[in-house]
């Protein structure tokens, strides 16, 4: 076995993952503390805004009795957020996850310190004054900022900073909801843009640590404790698929509604700083009509899971929450999307569940929640495990999976981008959510190299070689670099067209050997190395082609690889993806018999 084969493995992770994991554990613990502070701040602002008291007790805006005054409170919150965005940082606008994506994609995973402060503060103001949002988006952004800032204190690569940014984001989500597995899956499906142990391991450590630290800070057990239901039978799974398809259609509608309102606001001839105020007024009107649409709404979600909201109340909740949430989010205020999606999905599931003869409305509310989240965010595995960890109703896992996959199938076919990536695309950046093995990582140089390589004797003179080129020798004319061999055919150097021109400049000696004019230390690649290694050598040495040498004898040339060879590897991948051909014909098989 060659040296390269000994070094090749399934993964490229090295010991640096241990250092990053230790930092990730610390970031996970800090993320839990930040989550506790954010939830405390939301509670304090809610008490001040709706009850006129300084307290951190758990209350909801729906419990207040302010009457028409409730319209002004979200508007005041929107005004404060607009001022913070204009004079602080406009990166606090939005629901957090697209901003984290943008930092990873184009910001080299660097987030400003002021964003780490202003984002949770603005989100607490938004939610505390009745904004129909969740705390998860802001804490993901804040945790990510915490991880990014910690990474910037150390001598780390951009990829390592990304890992710590995502570790902070996953830690924040795990701390808010007590869902460490779903937080890791969200990182994998949405934030990391890779599936490698070097990033997965630290993120998992951060998420687990945050969930553990959460217990003494926020308590243990599922947020939405429900009575465990019986598993769905085959009829129930078919119905779950249908509910998932319905939620997929609703997910597409919600995404279009949010960005429809976002497109509407620029048409209003006032500065964008005032847009959250307008959004807050709309939220206040919605809260006056149905107070349950205000705030995070965890109590309402729990009621849906227990089947306590039925009939017309479900329609009012679904329509009202969808309108105020999409309008407020389109206005550019600050807040998350997970909790609203859970509420709207739960309302839709419970609504149709009243007419389903299988299981209770609470079951379909749970399935609707997961399907709405999975379809809207295009993260089906995150959604199904998120719903499972929120309720601990393990028997529902098959139904959750069927519904989430069905919902994603609808949204993938209907919409090019999700509600999260659409905002990134509108800022001029493209990303893909599909992952595949790079052909450069699996194909060896020997598979795609050109095996017939004419060579030049090292003793040939520069003038003789130039004469051969002038006489129309096509092979030499087309090559910018030519390998040089000794009398035994062993590779001893390489000469380029630039070398030849330099050797004959002015009064240059045309009788000098090509070996003297060229280089005696050519950059080579072994035939058993990966295409990845060849590309790295070509880019690192600014050359367009490399001699390929034997795996057992580095002086024996067996071929060469150039840009065309590199493209052939890509073409092979393209053919595997797009070229359709019949390998078996029933008619031919019968004729052979």
Question: Which has more confidence, 567 or 71?
Answer: 71
Q: What is the pLDDT of residues 467-508, one digit of tens each?
A: 777 766 655 556 667 888 887 878 888 887 777 777 777 666
- Write out pLDDT tens, residues 203-218: 999 999 999 999 998 8
- The average pLDDT across 518-528 equals 85
Burial class (CB in 10 A: 0-12, 13-18, 19+), 399: buried
pTM (whole model) above 0.85 = no
Cβ atoms of 348 and 247 closer than 8 Å: yes
Higher per-residue pLDDT: 313 or 138: 313
C-alpha torsion sign, points 493, 498, 501, 507: negative
392-434 residue pLDDT tens:
999 999 999 999 999 999 999 998 888 877 777 777 777 777 7
DSSP label of 551: S
Residue 277 has a pLDDT of 93
Sheet with 545-549: list strands edge to edge.
Answer: 525-526, 545-549, 557-562
Which segment of 215-219, 320-324, 565-569 scores lowest on mean pLDDT?
A: 565-569
Task: In whole angstroms, give the CA distance from residue 65 to residue 453.
Answer: 86
Largest CA-CA distance found in the chain, in angstroms, rounded:
100
The answer to whether residues 410 and 375 touch, using CB atoms and an 8 Å cutoff, is yes
pLDDT for the residue numbered 223 = 84
Cα 320 from Cα 318, distance rounded (Å): 6
Structure tokens, 110: 């660097």
Angle formed at CA 247 by CA 413 and CA 251, multiple of 5 degrees:
60
Nearest to 456 by CA among 527, 526, 515, 501: 515
Cα–Cα distance, 373 to 340 (Å, whole number): 9
pLDDT score at 475: 58
The 8-class DSSP code of residue 228 comes to P
**Topology (CATH level 3) of domain 234-426:** Clc chloride channel (1.10.3080)
Please state which CATH number belongs to domain 439-578. Answer: 3.10.580.10
Q: What is the Cα–Cα distance from 347 to 518, expressed in whole angstroms?
A: 75
Q: Does the structural domain 16-218 have CATH classification 3.40.50.1360?
A: no
* CB neighbour list of residue 372: distance below 8 Å, 6 or more residues apart: 247, 250, 251, 254, 341, 342, 344, 345, 346, 348, 407
CB 350 within 8 A of CB 304: yes
Give CA separation, 91 vs 86, 116, 443, in Å: 10, 10, 42
* pLDDT computed for residue 446 by the predictor: 85
pLDDT 10s digits, 140-164: 777 777 777 777 777 777 788 888 8
The pair of structure tokens assigned to 377 is 């965010």
Report residue 23 as tokens: 């930092």
Instruction: Give the residue, 183 or 67, on which the prediction is more confident.
Output: 183
User: What local confidence, expressed as pLDDT, does residue 588 receive?
Assistant: 57
461 φ, ψ to 5°?
-85, 160
Lowest model confidence (mean pLDDT) among 65-79, 320-334, 516-530, 564-578: 564-578
Q: Is the pLDDT of residue 114 over 80?
A: no
Q: What percent of the chain has pLDDT over 70?
A: 89
Is there a common fold for 16-218 and 234-426? yes
Which range (119-128, 176-185, 322-331) has the least confidence? 119-128
User: In the predicted model, what is the mean pLDDT of the chain?
Assistant: 84
**What is the pLDDT, as a whole number, of residue 1?**
45
339-359 mean pLDDT: 93
Q: Where are the domains of the chain?
A: 16-218, 234-426, 439-578
pLDDT above 90 coverage of the chain, percent: 32
Give the model confidence (pLDDT) of 73-90 as tens digits. Answer: 999 999 998 998 888 877
């Amino acid at each position: 076995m060659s040296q390269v084969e000994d070094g090749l493995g399934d993964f490229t992770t090295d010991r640096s993952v241990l250092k990053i994991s230790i930092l990730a554990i610390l970031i996970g613990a800090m993320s839990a503390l930040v989550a506790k502070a954010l939830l405390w701040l939301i509670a304090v602002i809610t008490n001040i805004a709706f009850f006129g008291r300084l307290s951190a007790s758990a209350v909801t805006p729906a419990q207040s009795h302010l009457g028409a005054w409730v319209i002004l409170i979200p508007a005041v919150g929107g005004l404060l957020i607009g001022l913070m965005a204009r004079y602080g940082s406009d990166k606090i606008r939005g629901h957090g996850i697209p901003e984290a994506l943008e930092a990873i994609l184009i910001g080299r995973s660097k987030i400003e310190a002021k964003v780490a402060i202003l984002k949770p503060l603005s989100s607490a103001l938004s939610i505390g004054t009745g904004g129909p949002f969740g705390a998860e988006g802001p804490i993901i952004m804040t945790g990510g900022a915490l991880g990014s800032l910690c990474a910037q204190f150390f001598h780390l690569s951009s990829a390592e900073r990304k890992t710590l940014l995502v570790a902070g984001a996953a830690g924040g989500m795990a701390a808010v909801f007590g869902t460490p597995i779903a937080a890791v899956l969200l990182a994998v499906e949405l934030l990391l843009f890779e599936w490698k142990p070097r990033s997965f391991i630290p993120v998992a450590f951060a998420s687990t640590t945050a969930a553990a630290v959460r217990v003494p800070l926020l308590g243990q057990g599922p947020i939405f404790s429900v009575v465990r239901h019986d598993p769905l039978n085959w009829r129930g799974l078919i119905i779950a698929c249908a509910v998932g398809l319905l939620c997929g259609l609703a997910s597409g509608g919600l995404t279009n509604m949010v960005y429809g309102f976002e497109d509407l606001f620029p048409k209003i001839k006032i500065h964008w700083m005032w847009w959250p105020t307008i959004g807050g007024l709309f939220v206040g009107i919605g809260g006056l009509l149905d107070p349950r649409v205000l705030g995070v709404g965890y109590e309402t979600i729990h009621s849906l899971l227990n089947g306590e909201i039925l009939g017309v109340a479900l329609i009012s909740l679904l329509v009202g929450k969808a309108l105020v949430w999409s309008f407020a989010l389109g206005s550019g205020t600050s807040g998350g999307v997970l909790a609203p999606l859970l509420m709207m999905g739960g309302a839709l599931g419970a609504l149709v569940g009243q007419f389903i003869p299988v299981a209770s409305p609470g079951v379909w509310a749970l399935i609707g929640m997961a399907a709405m989240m999975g379809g809207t965010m295009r993260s089906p595995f995150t959604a199904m495990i998120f719903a499972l960890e929120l309720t601990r109703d393990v028997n529902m896992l098959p139904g959750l999976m069927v519904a989430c996959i069905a919902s994603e199938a609808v949204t993938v076919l209907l919409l090019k981008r999700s509600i999260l990536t659409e905002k990134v695309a509108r800022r001029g950046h493209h990303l893909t959510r599909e992952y595949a093995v790079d052909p450069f990582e699996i194909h060896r140089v020997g598979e795609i190299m050109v095996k017939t390589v004419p060579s030049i004797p090292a003793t040939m003179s520069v003038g003789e070689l130039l004469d051969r080129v002038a006489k129309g020798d096509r092979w030499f004319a087309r090559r910018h670099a030519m390998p040089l061999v000794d009398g035994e055919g062993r590779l001893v150097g390489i000469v380029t067209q630039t070398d030849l021109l330099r050797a004959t400049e002015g009064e240059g000696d045309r009788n000098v050997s090509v070996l003297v004019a060229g280089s005696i230390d050519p950059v080579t690649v072994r035939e058993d190395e990966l295409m990845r290694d060849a590309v790295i050598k070509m880019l690192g040495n600014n050359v367009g082609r490399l001699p390929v040498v034997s795996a057992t004898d580095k002086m024996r040339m067996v071929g060469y690889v150039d840009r065309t060879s590199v493209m052939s590897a890509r073409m092979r991948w393209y053919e595997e993806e797009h070229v359709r051909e019949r390998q078996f014909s029933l008619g031919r098989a019968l004729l052979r018999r």
